[in-house]
Chain A
Amino acid sequence: MRDADGGGGLAGQLVVLARRLRKAGIAVGPGDTLLGLRAAAAVGVGDPGRLACALRCCWCHAHADLDLFDRVFATWWGRPPSAPPASGVPTDGGVRLHPAVGGEGGPRDDLPPRARREHRLEPSADPGLRAVDFGHCSPAELTELAGAVAALATCAPERPGRRRRRGPHGSRIDWPGSQRLALRSGGEWLRLVRARPSVRRRPLLVLCDTSGSMERYTRILLRFCHALQQGPGGVETFVFSTRLNRVTHQLRDRDPSRALAAVGGAAPGWAGGTRIGDALHELLIRWGPRVLSHGPVTLVISDGWETGSPERLAAALQRLRRSSWRLVWCNPLMGDPDFAPVTQGMRAALPHVDLLHPVHTLDSLEQLVGVVERARHRRPLAQASLSGSARSGRAGPEPVGPPPGR
């Protein structure tokens, strides 16, 4: 942030502001700077309010940028760059760093360095580990499993698109296409072109519990979330304990240990208590329109230990289910042969989920991926969907696939 940019005058000072904004995390490119100069010339520079209005609509590209812009602008205007600038970035003026630049290196960077290279391990290094409960694994075994988890998970749920693609076995006739073809043969309809619906990606919404009760599973399951996020687009990931945090951005980092560390940094409630109902309500109210509007497959990964009110949880789930194409509750405790959904949270949740699925072993994760991918077809979900019995809360749910190991 030195003022060595010569120039002086309006142009020079605006360039300084643009650079400060860039440092604070708003992407102001050279083209934007030019646009800003033209805007400033159009409204005049006498009045800071007016100038701020003009620059804001040129340089901010999202709602989240607005607040940040105002603060940087205020510092810039109050301390003109001709005066000796404060040493360094204007972060000291209480400026919040954009998530893109803040939050590097959380405290939980205790994955072994080896994890970096394991990304391309074959699906299972040791077949014996496939059916072992993650909770019973030693750290070394977990490390080994992490690579396999990363390799298996590229879920891409699908849905039929609105558009049609040409296809010889399509169910409908593509009239404009046929007409164009007829035109080529002098207006004679020699052949009809058929069309079938295109296939589009269905979004995937992952909500992962990181509270204290999940501790044995959190790391490996987050690794699973990371792998999902690395797959094709349209994946949104949130973690929750007492609060809800969006970690989609953090998990986009290709390096799993860095990504998980960033999640640790971004989710302050890590390993605390669980208020699933509150977290889901926050999701519905704050994020609802953005993450739920295209009918996602929703995975809630949690053991169901709820410290808040179960009614609130039930209400939130009911609503979440109506906005989701499928709602799958993934519970790592289902590995226990004596498991029954008797905790308050699970009891409240059961009537509102499409499927309860275990996530305690590599095998179960693999099945989960299969379930999500097949979710393209109409309800009921899998052969063991909860359509009848469990929705009404009478019987316990059956997980898909073989019984849980050990």
Chain B
Amino acid sequence: MAGGWPGATELGDPEAVRAALLAVDYVADLELATACFLALRLERPLLVEGEAGVGKTELAKALAQCLAAPLIRLQCYEGIDVSQALYEWNHPRQLLAIRQSEQGSAGPLDLYAPDYLIRRPLLLALDPPDGRRPVLLIDELDRADDEFEAFLLEILSDWQVTIPELGAVRAARPPLVVCTSNRTRELHDALKRRCLFHWIELPNLETELRIVQRRLPGVAAALAQAATAFVQELRGQDLYKTPGVAETLDWAAALVVLGSDGLDPATVDATLGSLLKYQEDLATVRATGVAELLARSRARR
């Protein structure tokens, strides 16, 4: 396996990646495992898309965990720019250094030395100070402006950036990059071409049940089963925002906190806010009838 990953000695094929992810409680199907395997082996960034709450960000965390690598996260937002993503010069320190040198202590002053550089996530990932090869998560890339996307191209294909005052910084060993997108806008083709692409689907009943049991070991088997079946039923409804796996987990956790050992309409109705985040969706579900949906979800099992 590619060197430089402390935890990656035995990740020789997609099944091994899948097992390793499962060991850190991330349930992946073979397709996703193959994509991760190839991202590691071919040293390509991995672009993961899918509905909100299917575990795109979790994937990066799980990968970092099973590679025993540090996770560096860059949360994208509208207006993000080089000074927040890559580097910035430490102006106050530079100013102080000037003042000091005016008092005539040391010799010639180099204001653009690495000492005065503030490293932001992308630079940290290319040139980690402790030398440990990281996993870089570029989260919600679709929120950033398209100019920022263009700026990422050099980093993602050549693993280098240019800082005018210092010259090019090149990664000795490229980090594992996971980009996620919610598809609020289509990413540019140039970026997509540099990445391996994977679309995470919402899981089916068995898979989701496994996820719930893995992530929340404290949930009774019967409750987990009932809750998952109910969410699956809910996804069939005409909703603005169908609940993702993250919502299922929230909800199951909420049910545990409430101490319920089974599902009844009153409990479901009281906790529906963990699953549905739009007033219209709540109204739709209540119009159909929580009891009715519960009955249908029981029939599903």
Chain A interface residues (CB < 8 Å from chain B): 27, 29, 31-32, 35, 38-39, 42-43, 49-50, 53-54, 56-58, 60-63, 66, 161-163, 176, 179-180, 182-183, 186-187, 281, 284-285, 288-290, 293-294, 315, 319
Contact = CB atoms under 8 A, between A and B. Distances in A.
Contacts of A186: 98, 102
A39 B39 CA distance: 9
Contacts of B163: none
13 contacts: A38-B42, A39-B42, A53-B30, A61-B193, A61-B197, A161-B79, A176-B91, A179-B91, A187-B95, A187-B99, A285-B238, A290-B184, A294-B185
Interface in B30-44: 30-31, 34-35, 37-38, 41-42, 44
Contacts of A315: 280
A189 to B, nearest CB: 10
A63 B49 contact: yes
A35 B31 contact: no
Q: Report, as a range, how many residues of chain B touch the other chain.
A: 35 or more
B183 interface: yes
A58 B38 contact: yes
A296 to B, nearest CB: 12
Given A50-B30, A290-B184, A293-B185, A32 B13 contact: no
Contacts of B240: 284-285, 288, 319
Interface string B213-244: 00000000000000000000000001110000
Contacts of B183: 63, 289-290
Interface string B54-85: 00000000000000000000000111010100
B111 interface: yes
A53 B14 contact: yes
Contacts of B185: 290, 293-294
Contacts of B46: 57
B34 A62 contact: no
Contacts of B31: 53, 56-57
Given A183-B98, A315-B280, A57 B38 contact: yes
B186 interface: yes
A58 B99 CA distance: 55
Contact of A182 (B13, B95, B280): B95
A56 B35 CA distance: 9
Given A57-B35, A315-B280, A42 B41 contact: yes
B192 A61 contact: yes
B120 interface: no
A288 B35 CA distance: 28
Given A60-B197, A61-B197, A183-B111, A163 B38 contact: no
